[in-house]
Structure 1
Amino acid sequence: MRHFLTLKDFTKEEILEIIDIGLEIKKNLKSKIYKKELENQTLGMIFEKSSTRTRVSFETGMFQLGGHALFLSNRDIHLGRGEPVKDTARVISSMCDMVMIRTFEHSMIEEFASYSKVPVINGLTDSYHPVQLLADYMTLVEHSANENIVCAYIGDGNNMTHSWMMLAAKLGFELRIATPKGYEVNEKILKEVLVLAKESGAVIKTMNDPNEAVRGATVITTDTWTSMGQEEEKEERIKIFKGFMVDEKMMMLATKDARFLHCLPAYRGLEVSESVFEKYSEIIFDEAENRLHAQKGLMVWLDKQR
């Protein structure tokens, strides 16, 4: 049995296999071919952090695969209200075939997985967002942008940044990360990633100049400057992140056929300009849809490992 907590635990071949399964499922869906590969199975979805795309994609995906998804918010279960995580894990995993968790502390999902009898999927923690990266890479494959990637990540050194680092380290491409001073990536995670990068041949660079990161890049990506739980910092962050908005001028420094990705929700006029967002809206919303298909590929793959 395998869990999906970070991309660190997966080989390049396994990541690409999951993507391929997702692409095949998407192709079948567009042709009105429905294969009930998880028929009569139940996915328990624990949400300590709310989300539009995560809930809709997992719930819809499980239905399309012939199963059922059960939504559990922190108001619906005893987790965090007196019952230890390990007890909740034992109970839910004895009744469900798979569990997806979207929470704050990464240690919580690690503890849950260690006591779970079924596969656990990380729907997001403060440290990582690996399911989003499956969708992102699937989108690059579909748009023929997955060869010789030079990716520039512009913005906060957050869970998305860490997940891009893991993907680059596993697949062996170049990643340049530009963050304001004081908002760099987690040093411990960076050290782990650099060890993995030596094995794959990946080049991972961190810097504070977004223009330097974007120059000659084939893929540019960003995320909101203020994540959930950081709302009190919003005004301060807007001032500090000035100059880190991906706009037309910045995109001119990338290659002519560069792609722009955004995991959404997007705040126009902050991390991305209105004009850049609309220019690349087709690929951005393909990326959003691919959360559905990539996660179906993941769930089918995890089910086969049991």
Structure 2
Amino acid sequence: MHLLQITDLGSADVCEIWNIAKTQPKTMTGTVAWSFQGHGIRTRTTFIQAFRDLGLAFTELPNLLKTNERTADLAGYLDDFYDLYVIRESDHERLTEFAASTRRPVINAMSSRGHPCEVLTDAYYVETKLRPIASAKVCLWGPPTNVFHSWHELADVLDFCVVHVRDRQFHQKKRNVRFTEALPTAIDIVITDNGPAAGDAPSRPLTEDALAHMGYPRLLPTPPFLIGRELSFDPLSYPNFVGYQQKNLLLPVQRAIVQYALGS
């Protein structure tokens, strides 16, 4: 099983990953090849800990796909040494090409197209700490990013609706996404993002007044966040900021994704 984007999963797959995340890790055998473009501070930290928790050996292959070598040749040479690839690679097309070439599962640890592990974790938080995702009122705040693209995909896979506040020029027709420039009300959680995948897309920073209008929802900025970019204020001053502790859930969810990929 590859996890390159959330639409690679069905609703039953998502539920099973979340069920595994609630259990104690099982000792597994095998070796993981992992390659992280850029810093990936939180994702790198929790994936390495997940490998350790599962008893898996792991080898870093820096910038695995940043080469002119054909992906078929890379996979042909490496597949006999590894049972799983975990790759953070901006070039989503190159990552997809490699996944099509290898006989091993590939997990996208972030690309220009999506951030499936992060979004599965954030949605798991909503599902287990707030209310069932099907009835939760989730607001996405910011320009088109890889994180928000994964949220749109998850809304389709699990068939629930999200509200996405962003400039009208970026509105689209999507079955389970309601785009708006107006402030929604009675929101359970606001997720912000304005990372490099947004390019030069303009965005208005989220304000404390906007949060008050929405009913003082939980606030989950996608890290790394910058005050003055996606947020106009320091989130530590907001009583419903959940960022730091919430990101601890990256570990059990990433661990579950690894277990599910190897088990399948």
Does TM, normalized by the shorter one, top 0.5? Answer: yes
Per-residue CA distance 1:112-141 (angstroms, 9 max, x = gap): 111111110011110111000111012113
Q: What corresponds to 1:32 in structure 2? A: none
Identity over the aligned pairs, expressed in percent? Answer: 21
Consecutive aligned runs of 4 or more in structure 1 exceeding 6 Å deviation: none
Q: Distance in 1 between matches of 2:236 and 2:78?
A: 40
SS of the equivalent of 1:58 reads helix
How many pairs were matched up?
Answer: 263
- Asked if residue 73 in structure 1 is aligned to residue 72 in structure 2, the reply is no
Q: What corresponds to 1:297 in structure 2? A: 256
- Does the 8 Å contact 1:153/1:222 carry over to 2? yes
Within 5 A, what are the aligned runs for 1:1-306? 2-25=1-24, 35-39=25-29, 41-74=30-63, 79-147=65-133, 148-182=135-169, 184=170, 194=174, 197=175, 203-207=176-180, 209=181, 211-212=182-183, 214-223=184-193, 225-227=194-196, 230=199, 233=200, 240-241=202-203, 244-256=204-216, 258-279=217-238, 283-305=242-264
Per-residue CA distance 1:234-277 (angstroms, 9 max, x = gap): xxx6xx42xx2222111112235x22222211212321243434
Q: Distance in 2 between matches of 1:249 and 1:145?
A: 24
Q: Distance in 1 between matches of 2:263 and 2:239?
A: 36
Q: What corresponds to 1:30 in structure 2? A: none
- Does the 8 Å contact 1:264/1:288 carry over to 2? no
TM-score, normalized by length of structure 1?
Answer: 0.78
SS of the equivalent of 2:61 reads strand
Deviates more, 1:91-100 or 1:267-276: 267-276
- Does the 8 Å contact 1:48/1:73 carry over to 2? yes
- Does the 8 Å contact 2:145/2:197 carry over to 1? no
Q: Which amino acid aligns with 2:196?
A: S
Which protein is richer in helix relative to its size?
Answer: 1
Per-residue CA distance 1:65-112 (angstroms, 9 max, x = gap): 1112222212xx5x4333112211222222111001111121111111
Q: Distance in 1 between matches of 2:237 and 2:70?
A: 46
Superposed CA RMSD: 2.3
* TM-fit CA distance, 1:7: 1.1
* TM-fit CA distance, 1:229: 9.5
TM-score, normalized by length of structure 2?
Answer: 0.90
Q: Distance in 2 between matches of 1:292 and 1:280?
A: 25
The unaligned stretches of length 5 or more in structure 1 are 26-34, 198-202
Q: Which amino acid aligns with 1:37?
A: T
